Structure formats: structure tokens, C-alpha cells
């Protein structure tokens, strides 16, 4: 078979790309109302699935080498290499010693082998940042108040920083942050806890250059599981925790004990039968029976009992089955091991009933660790006694992925540790103490309809755009909460390329789905929004959201209706029959297909055993896959040179295309508009004033639509309810909080400022500050008396017309008696009967005597302009209408009365072209 390179991969996936293109358009009915309705998403999903299937026919080393190739980065992205000092690696090892304890160290096989690294190698990392943000940071002193430490995924055994850089740079651009990505060691050559030590050392290094309140952890898939394990170690060892963490489709249960893993997942690309590869020295490792057979053959050759290594055919016949029947008389010779407060019996873990017969698994299932450690709390974080005491978490779940149940269970266990705690008999004294010690964790759970595992991988699709936006919003909120200051982030929806494109209609308006319509009409305000909106308040330490493929957020179903939340805690971490049967069926196929290749690997192992291995001393027993325990005495490891991957470069270019186009649009949008001098000819074809007055009034613009800035400031609005203001709190502290909140918002003269109004009781609010007057009350305050001042109109000017928001009539109206109150009365806001002007409540009420100072001002006598018309009484309410009625009655009786006029508006006809004002002529007077 051809090696795994760009050419072979391209030839393998091209048929899939072509067939998907045709099926997408000729078989569209099954794709409706799903993310696959978009061609880009449909193509990306099938392409990744085809690649993983093709890579399974190659060795693990080939896949690792392919995904670890050097990938160039765009010129508008700044990348810097970093090295984690040795002292941080040593300190990380010491912390893991304390966390694992005596039993834990015995389980992993010692305390030295997992600290070994390849010769002349160190823990390297990479800083990723937008060049424009780096320049701005240096201008402000070089310090950054926002750093995201990102741990890439890849099932713990493949992937790299280069492969994931196109995703990390999107996070850096959206959050205006620096991304720190460690190149941690991968299994199976470096199994647990090698990678955990590297990630812990990377975080300890960050603490030497950053304050913990400026750090947000993030990870996808296996990286998300690593983040959870890392947070638990930091919590238990008293290390300062970060401001928050983002978990994108985290893999937190390596035992596959949840229902979704046993079912079908047609909307996902993860193999339902597990990861299998062509045999090599790295994977799969020989089981106990195979090792005994290989040692016997090596001992015979070493003692000169035979000069030849057993042949391939002989070794094929001696290969053992991955499972063996377990006899009832077999007594367990192993005692329970203590794993972070949870006792685990390895023999019970490895035994499962298949078709009514109890069998014992012998072959290793997961590459990250041996079967005995699958339920370890640092391997499967869902097995922790408690997940409380952690910083705020954002857990993003794909509704169509195979691992969704364990992620949903994880989120609810974080927010309610007591309800989802292990059974009482499964907890030690240490576990019970932790359960009582740590408070619940605040969690935002988002389940995205029908999305696949780690959907941000398809960064060029519309659902991924909403996910990146939601991640930036949560991260900024977590940083603002920890730093007690506003955090500004990118708001590029108006200039986003993905926002205005797609295979399902482009810019056309999408119809609402019935579910969304029902939710929008029946649910209270604040429960239906868009991904990336400000966080709503936490309820019972959770924000539970269901997100559509268009980014609309809806309330999530109750816990009782979620299969993941109905799982009994006692069954979590127990291997299930359905999962094992699917894995064994595929393993049997691979053993038959690659029996010769497996025999050749066994033959090489016999030669290595004869030569001898390096040892670490007594008490050190590295796992069979660990490279530290497979080093021949008479040879040295040689690190291969990195090569450039054109295939990954094209994939990265495809993923970065949206960022590049958005950056270019942002530059153009930030340029000053062209200024020109108006000429008399510019007035040709001007519409008449009556025509303009008769057209439909434009809709009120939202806050975001009004702002021309592509930045928005995120502040902590006490969503968690943890900010308690008591009577004993010093005034200086309250003033400091007020100054921080005001500094985070745009000023009155800022182009981003948009006034917002609200009502608390009967006092209106402006930008969160209560105004010094009440609604439907006399103007007895000094601030309201100011509204009583009179303004003299300038010659040739006209008074401003009051236009009510919901008034449908804009035609000129003579001053007549109002027939009914409902016909002419304008619509009012929620505060009694106060009219609104451009979204701001006016300081008077309708259908009420003019007793306030503001209403007295509106009834002052104004001299009318020539050709003007009186203003409709519908604007002034019944008070003006009642006054007009009295005037007409007096005139009918022939009596004289002092003329009282309402506000005047200009004549309906627009001035002619000869009076059109330009920058080069003076304004003639209207006669």
C-alpha cells in the first residue's frame, strides 16, 4: 500500500468529494433542516470521514508524521516559538506525584519513565497572535490581558499545533488574544501521564509571565478532556485557577459507557467501532499471552537453543485472541486501587458479558493508556468524585456526535456535583471530603443541533462561525469577570464573508422553522437569542441552551428528557457489551487483513528482546506501548526532519480564507469615507417633501446596527449571582466597581454610544442609571424643571416634528376635535402611556392633564411661520385636543378668545431646486 502523503490522500478522498457534490444536489431531501444542507459543511464532513478511514489502513507512526508536518501560516498572523523551562517540568512532575499518590504511581508503572523525553528534545510551544493585535499590544507596553492556552485534540495520539493553527488563529482574532499552544507528547509512545505533565508544565510556565485572571484554557476532543484533568489537578494542588475554560466536544469517558456510543451516529465522522490501524511496533501492543510467547522465543535464541527467529507463518499461527473466556472459579488476585478518591477493581473493569458469556479483554483498547487505567479520574474526568470548585466552563456539544451523552453528563455533574456523584460505596474518605469541600461550577452548556464532533474544525462553514463567536463571547466574559473590567472583542458579523454566503439561499431571508416560531412567541424574553449574545443569568449554576444551525439559541429540554442525565451513576465507567462487540468485530477484520504485518512486528520485537532494553531501575514498569521501555541498548533514537505538507497547507488555506477576507474587509471598513463638495447639479431628481413624508418610516435600528465599530465591549453583569452588595461594604469599593463598569462602556460622545432605556418600578433608566424623575408624576424635581425652559426659533427655521415610533399616520392633519381616544392616540412603551422618540421615552404622559413642567413647555405659545401647518393633536394627547375643542366652540358663538397655537411644521411641499443647499451657495430665505 502507498505511504500516507499528500498525493495518496488526495487520490483517496477525491472520489468522496465528487460523489458528495452530486448527492448533495440530487438527494437534497434528507439534508433539509440539517447542517448538511450547506454544501461546504457536507463536503467537509465526508472529507474528514474519508480521511480517517483511509488512514486506518496505515500505521500510527505514518498518521502522526503526516499530521505533524510543517504548515505555513498567513502573513497577517504572527507566530513565535517558545520553550518551557526544565524547572517547570520538574515542578509539574512533583505535583503529579502528589495527585496520583502511592497507588496511582504503582498503577502507571513508576515515577521516572513518564518523565523521559527523546534525546535533545524539550517541551516546545507556540505563541499565535494577529499581527495587528501584536503591534497594538507593543504600543501599550507589551503586556496582554487575554491569553488562551489551547490544547489540541486528536484522540491523544495524532494531530499537532501546525495542523490546528488555522483554528487557533481564528480564536486569537475573535478574542484579540494571544494563543499559547504546547506541543505535548502523544500516545501510544508516550501514554498517560506524559501528556498531562507537559500541559501542566505549560500552564505553570504561563503563570510566570501572566496573571491567572488573564488566562483562559481551551481544548477540543482529547484536548478538552486534558483541560478537565488539568483543572482538577490545579484545584486539588492549590494552584491558581484560570479565569475560565472552553471545552469543545470534550472526550471525558474512555470507557465508552454512555448510550450514545453504542448507537448510530450518521451525522458524525468519528468511527463507531473505535480507532484501528495497521500493526506496527507502536500499535497495537502485544497482550499478555503474546508477550509470554515472544519472551520464550527470545530466551531460546539468546541461549543459543536456536539460531533463527521464528518465521512469519509460525508467528501468525501463535497469535492469541483479544479476549478469553473467564471461568467462574478464577479468583481475582488484584486488590482495589485508589484512583483520586474512587476505588477501581481492574478485573471487574476488564470483564464484560457478550452474548450471555463472561469474557475478559486482553488487548489494549485505547492508545492513551492501558485497560486498567481507563476509569482513572485523570484519564476519564467524568469519573472524578466531584467536578465542583472549577472556574466557569463553556461546554459545546455537537447534537449529532457519538460522544454527546458523556459531554452532557459532564456539564450537569459540574453544576450539581452532589446529584451526579458516584455511589456512596464507591467513594473513599478523600472523595467524600472533596465532594463536601468544593462548590458547584458555573457551566454554560450548548448543544448544537445535528453538528458533528468538534464542528469548528470546519471553520469555513456557517455553524462554525457561530461557534467561534460564542467562544469569544464566553471567554471575554470570563476574563471580564476575573479582572473586573470590560473586555472588547471583535464584532465582525457585518463584514463576515460567511454571514452573507451559503448554499442555502445566500443573502435571502431564511424562513423560521416551526420550532423556532413557537419558541419565539411562547417563551419569555431573553430565552431566544443568537450565539454570541451576552450571557444570560445562570440558573442553578447552569445556562442550558440548544442552538440551531443558524445560531439561534433556545432553552434546552429538562434533565429528565435527556438520556445522558438518566444514566445511573453506578454504571458510569463500566464497559458495555454493545461497544465491546463493535470493537471486537472490527479488530477481528484488521487481524485477518494484517496478520502478516503483525507477525513481522512480533519478529522484530523478538530481536529487540535479544538485544536488550534500557531500564529505569527497580519499581519502573512502563506500559507495553511506551517508547521509554522499548529502547534498544545498542541503538539510538534519531528524530526525523520535519517536512512541509502541501495537503495540510491547502486545508489550512481553505480554513484561513474566511479570516483573510474578513481582515481585508475590516481594513476597508475602517478607512475614512471620501469627502466631496456638493454642486447644484447634485439636486437633480430630488423627491418632493410630501413624497418623503408619505413613505414608510424606517425600522428602529438595534444597538449593534447603529454602531459603525467592529468591536464590542463585554462586561460581567453578575450572571453568576456571586456579586453580593451588603450594607457593610465600603463606599470606596462600590465607587470603584461603578468606575470599572463605566470605563467598560462607550462614552456619550463615542460613535458606539447608543442610549438604552428601561423601567425599574416607575423610574426610567438610561444606560443602566436611574433618571431623577418618576413616570406619571408631577415634575417636582429640579432636573425636570429644566425642561420648562423656552427656546426662541431662528428666522427661517421650523420646529422639529415629533415622530412617534408606532404612529402609522404621517399625513398632515388639521387641528380638529378628536372623535375617539383610540383612533389618534399613538402607541406607547411599557411605562404607562409615555410616547417614545427614537427609542427614548419622552418625559410626559398621554391622556392626562398637562400638570408637569415638560407638558407646560409643549403648550407654550409659538408664533407660526408663513406657510406652516399646525401639528396634529395626536402628538400632544387629549390635553391639546380638549383645548382645541373649547376654542372652536367659542368661535361658533361669535365670542373672541386668545388664540393658542400648537407647534408648527413646514409646508408639505419641498423647496425647489433653486433653494437646495450645497456647500458652495448660501441659503435663500423662503417667502
What are the φ and ψ backbone dihedral angles of 83, each rounded to 5 degrees? Answer: -125, 130
The residue assigned the cell 451588603 is 726
Give the strand order in the sheet containing 757-760.
757-760, 763-766, 769-770
| Local confidence band at 4 (pLDDT 50, 70, 90 cut-offs) | confident
| Local confidence band at 497 (pLDDT 50, 70, 90 cut-offs) | low
Check residue 724 and report its DSSP letter.
Answer: -
Task: Tell me which of 793 and 812 has the higher pLDDT.
Answer: 793
| Local confidence band at 514 (pLDDT 50, 70, 90 cut-offs) | very low
% pLDDT > 70, the chain:
62
Strands (E), 655-744: 711-714
How large is the average pLDDT for residues 878-884?
A: 45
How large is the average pLDDT for residues 4-12?
A: 86
**What is the spatial distance between Cα 164 and Cα 224, in angstroms, rounded to a whole number?**
14
pLDDT in tens, 558-570: 999 999 999 998 8
| Local confidence band at 529 (pLDDT 50, 70, 90 cut-offs) | low
In angstroms, how far is the first alpha carbon of the chain from the final one?
93
The cell for 894 is 361669535
CA dihedral sign of residues 770, 776, 782, 788: positive
| Local confidence band at 487 (pLDDT 50, 70, 90 cut-offs) | confident
pLDDT in tens, 622-681: 999 999 999 888 777 766 666 666 666 666 665 566 666 666 666 665 554 444 455 555
| DSSP per residue, 45-112 | HHHHHHHHHHHTTS-HHHHHHHHTSB----TTEEEEEEE--HHHHHHHHHHHHHHHHHHHHHHHT-SS
Given a cut of 90, is residue 140 above it in pLDDT? no
pLDDT at 526: 38
What are the φ and ψ backbone dihedral angles of 621, each rounded to 5 degrees? Answer: -130, 85
**What is the spatial distance between Cα 873 and Cα 903, in angstroms, rounded to a whole number?**
10
pLDDT at 439: 94
Given a cut of 70, is residue 785 above it in pLDDT? no
| DSSP per residue, 694-705 | HSPPPPPPPHHH
| Local confidence band at 411 (pLDDT 50, 70, 90 cut-offs) | very high
How large is the average pLDDT for residues 598-612?
A: 90
pLDDT at 328: 55
Task: Tell me which of 665 and 300 has the higher pLDDT.
Answer: 300
What are the φ and ψ backbone dihedral angles of 190, each rounded to 5 degrees? Answer: -130, 80
The rounded mean pLDDT for the chain is 76
| DSSP per residue, 839-861 | TEE-SS-SSS---SHHHHHHTS-
**What is the spatial distance between Cα 196 and Cα 524, in angstroms, rounded to a whole number?**
44
Task: Tell me which of 831 and 382 has the higher pLDDT.
Answer: 382
| Residue 552 near residue 516 (C-beta atoms within 8 A) | yes
How large is the average pLDDT for residues 871-895?
A: 45
| Local confidence band at 686 (pLDDT 50, 70, 90 cut-offs) | low
pLDDT at 495: 52
Given a cut of 60, is residue 417 above it in pLDDT? yes
Given a cut of 50, is residue 331 above it in pLDDT? no
pLDDT in tens, 55-101: 999 999 999 999 998 888 888 899 999 999 999 999 999 999 999 99
243-265 exposure pattern, b = at least 16 Cβ within 10 A, e = fewer:
bbbbbbbbbbbbbbbbebbbeeb
How large is the average pLDDT for residues 517-532?
A: 49
How large is the average pLDDT for residues 534-555?
A: 91
The residue assigned the cell 474578513 is 662
pLDDT at 38: 80
pLDDT in tens, 904-919: 444 455 544 444 444 4
| Local confidence band at 763 (pLDDT 50, 70, 90 cut-offs) | low
Give the strand order in the sheet containing 529-530.
77-83, 124-130, 178-182, 147-151, 215-220, 244-248, 393-398, 443-448, 542-547, 552-555, 529-530
pLDDT at 393: 97
Given a cut of 80, is residue 228 above it in pLDDT? yes
| Local confidence band at 516 (pLDDT 50, 70, 90 cut-offs) | very low
How large is the average pLDDT for residues 41-46?
A: 89
**What is the spatial distance between Cα 114 and Cα 94, in angstroms, rounded to a whole number?**
12
What are the φ and ψ backbone dihedral angles of 764, each rounded to 5 degrees? Answer: -75, 155
pLDDT at 748: 52
What is this structure's pTM?
0.73
Given a cut of 80, is residue 884 above it in pLDDT? no
pLDDT at 491: 72
Amino acid at each position: 500500500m502507498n505511504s500516507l502523503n499528500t498525493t495518496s490522500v488526495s487520490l483517496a478522498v477525491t472520489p468522496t468529494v465528487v460523489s458528495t457534490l452530486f448527492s448533495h444536489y440530487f438527494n437534497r431531501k434528507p439534508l433539509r433542516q440539517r447542517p448538511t444542507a450547506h454544501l461546504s459543511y457536507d463536503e467537509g464532513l465526508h472529507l474528514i470521514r474519508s480521511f480517517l478511514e483511509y488512514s486506518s489502513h496505515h500505521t500510527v507512526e505514518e498518521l502522526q508524521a503526516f499530521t505533524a508536518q510543517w504548515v505555513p501560516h498567513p502573513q497577517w498572523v504572527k507566530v513565535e516559538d517558545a520553550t518551557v523551562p526544565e524547572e517547570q517540568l520538574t515542578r509539574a512532575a512533583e505535583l503529579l506525584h502528589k495527585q496520583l499518590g502511592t497507588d496511582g504511581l504503582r498503577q502507571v508503572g513508576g515515577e521516572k519513565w513518564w518523565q523521559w523525553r527523546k534525546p535533545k528534545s524539550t517541551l516546545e510551544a507556540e505563541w499565535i497572535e494577529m499581527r495587528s493585535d501584536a503591534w497594538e499590544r507593543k504600543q501599550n507596553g507589551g503586556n496582554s490581558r487575554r491569553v488562551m492556552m489551547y490544547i489540541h485534540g486528536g484522540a491523544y495520539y495524532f494531530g499537532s499545533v501546525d495542523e490546528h493553527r488555522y483554528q487557533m488563529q481564528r480564536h486569537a482574532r475573535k478574542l484579540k488574544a494571544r494563543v499559547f499552544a504546547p506541543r505535548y507528547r502523544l500516545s501510544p509512545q508516550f501514554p498517560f501521564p506524559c501528556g498531562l505533565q507537559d500541559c501542566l508544565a505549560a500552564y505553570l510556565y504561563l503563570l510566570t509571565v501572566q496573571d491567572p485572571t488573564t488566562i483562559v484554557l481551551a481544548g477540543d476532543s482529547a484536548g478538552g478532556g486534558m483541560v478537565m484533568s488539568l483543572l482538577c489537578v490545579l484545584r486539588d494542588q492549590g494552584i491558581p485557577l484560570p479565569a475560565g475554560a472552553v471545552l469543545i466536544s470534550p472526550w471525558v469517558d474512555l470507557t465508552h459507557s454512555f448510550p450514545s456510543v453504542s448507537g448510530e451516529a450518521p451525522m458524525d465522522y468519528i468511527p463507531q467501532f473505535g480507532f484501528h490501524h495497521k500493526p506496527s511496533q507502536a500499535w497495537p501492543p502485544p497482550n499478555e499471552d503474546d508477550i509470554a510467547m515472544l519472551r520464550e522465543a527470545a530466551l531460546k535464541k539468546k541461549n543459543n537453543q536456536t539460531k533463527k527467529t521464528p518465521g512469519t507463518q509460525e508467528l501468525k499461527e501463535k497469535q492469541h485472541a483479544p479476549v478469553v473466556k473467564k471461568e467462574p472459579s478464577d479468583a481475582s488476585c488484584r486488590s482495589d486501587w485508589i484512583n483520586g478518591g474512587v476505588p477501581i477493581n481492574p478485573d471487574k473493569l476488564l470483564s464484560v458479558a457478550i452474548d450471555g458469556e463472561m469474557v475478559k479483554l486482553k488487548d489494549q483498547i485505547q492508545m492513551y493508556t492501558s485497560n486498567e487505567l481507563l476509569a482513572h479520574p485523570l484519564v476519564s474526568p467524568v469519573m472524578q468524585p466531584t467536578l465542583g470548585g472549577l472556574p466557569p466552563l463553556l461546554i459545546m456539544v455537537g447534537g449529532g456526535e457519538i460522544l454527546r451523552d458523556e459531554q452532557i453528563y459532564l456539564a450537569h455533574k459540574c453544576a450539581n456535583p452532589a446529584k451526579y456523584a458516584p455511589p456512596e460505596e464507591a467513594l473513599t474518605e478523600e472523595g467524600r471530603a472533596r465532594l463536601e469541600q468544593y462548590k458547584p461550577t458555573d457551566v454554560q452548556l450548548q448543544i448544537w443541533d445535528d453538528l458533528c464532533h468538534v464542528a469548528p474544525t470546519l471553520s469555513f462553514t456557517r455553524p462554525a462561525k457561530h461557534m467561534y463567536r460564542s467562544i469569544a463571547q464566553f471567554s471575554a466574559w470570563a476574563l471580564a469577570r476575573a479582572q473586573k473590567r470590560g473586555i472588547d472583542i471583535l464584532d465582525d458579523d457585518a463584514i463576515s464573508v460567511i454571514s452573507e454566503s451559503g448554499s442555502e439561499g445566500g443573502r435571502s431571508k431564511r424562513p423560521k422553522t416551526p420550532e423556532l416560531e413557537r419558541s419565539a412567541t411562547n417563551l419569555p424574553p431573553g430565552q431566544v437569542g443568537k450565539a454570541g449574545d451576552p450571557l444570560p443569568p445562570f440558573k442553578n449554576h447552569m445556562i442550558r441552551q440548544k442552538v440551531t444551525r443558524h445560531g439561534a439559541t433556545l432553552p434546552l429540554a429538562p434533565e429528565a428528557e435527556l438520556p445522558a442525565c438518566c444514566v445511573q451513576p453506578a454504571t458510569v465507567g463500566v464497559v458495555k457489551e454493545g461497544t465491546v462487540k463493535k470493537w471486537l468485530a472490527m479488530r477481528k477484520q484488521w487481524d485477518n487483513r494484517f496478520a502478516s504485518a503483525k507477525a513481522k512486528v512480533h519478529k522484530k520485537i523478538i530481536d529487540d528482546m535479544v538485544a536488550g532494553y534500557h531500564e529505569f531501575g527497580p519499581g519502573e514498569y512502563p506500559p507495553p506501548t511506551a517508547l521509554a521501555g522499548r529502547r534498544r541498548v545498542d541503538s539510538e533514537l534519531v528524530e526525523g526532519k520535519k517536512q512541509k505538507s502541501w495537503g495540510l497547507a491547502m486545508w489550512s488555506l481553505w480554513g484561513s480564507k474566511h479570516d483573510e477576507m474578513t481582515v481585508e474587509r475590516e481594513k476597508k471598513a475602517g478607512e475614512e469615507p471620501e469627502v466631496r463638495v456638493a454642486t447644484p447639479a447634485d439636486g437633480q431628481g430630488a423627491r418632493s417633501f410630501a413624497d418623503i413624508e408619505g413613505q414608510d418610516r424606517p425600522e428602529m435600528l438595534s444597538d449593534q446596527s447603529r454602531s459603525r465599530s467592529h468591536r464590542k465591549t463585554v462586561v460581567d453583569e453578575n450572571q453568576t449571582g456571586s456579586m453580593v452588595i451588603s450594607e457593610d461594604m465600603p463606599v470606596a469599593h462600590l465607587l470603584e466597581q461603578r468606575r470599572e463598569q463605566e470605563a467598560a462602556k462607550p462614552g456619550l460622545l463615542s460613535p458606539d454610544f447608543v442610549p438604552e432605556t428601561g423601567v425599574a418600578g416607575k423610574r426610567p433608566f438610561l444606560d443602566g442609571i436611574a433618571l431623577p424623575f418618576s413616570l406619571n408624576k408631577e415634575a417636582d424635581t429640579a432636573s425636570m424643571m429644566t425642561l420648562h425652559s423656552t427656546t426662541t426659533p431662528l428666522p427661517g427655521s421650523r420646529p422639529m416634528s415629533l415622530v412617534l415610533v408606532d404612529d402609522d399616520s404621517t399625513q398632515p392633519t388639521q387641528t380638529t376635535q378628536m372623535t375617539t381616544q383610540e383612533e389618534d392616540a399613538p402607541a406607547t412603551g411599557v411605562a404607562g402611556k409615555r410616547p417614545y422618540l427614537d427609542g427614548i421615552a419622552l418625559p410626559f404622559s398621554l391622556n392626562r392633564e398637562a400638570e408637569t413642567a415638560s407638558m407646560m413647555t409643549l403648550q407654550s405659545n409659538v408664533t407660526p411661520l408663513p406657510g406652516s401647518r399646525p401639528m396634529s393633536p395626536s402628538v400632544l394627547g387629549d390635553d391639546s385636543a380638549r383645548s382645541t375643542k373649547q376654542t372652536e366652540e367659542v368661535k361658533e358663538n361669535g365670542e373672541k378668545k386668545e388664540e393658542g397655537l400648537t407647534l408648527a411644521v413646514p409646508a408639505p411641499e419641498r423647496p425647489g431646486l433653486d433653494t437646495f443647499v450645497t456647500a458652495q451657495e448660501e441659503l435663500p430665505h423662503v417667502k
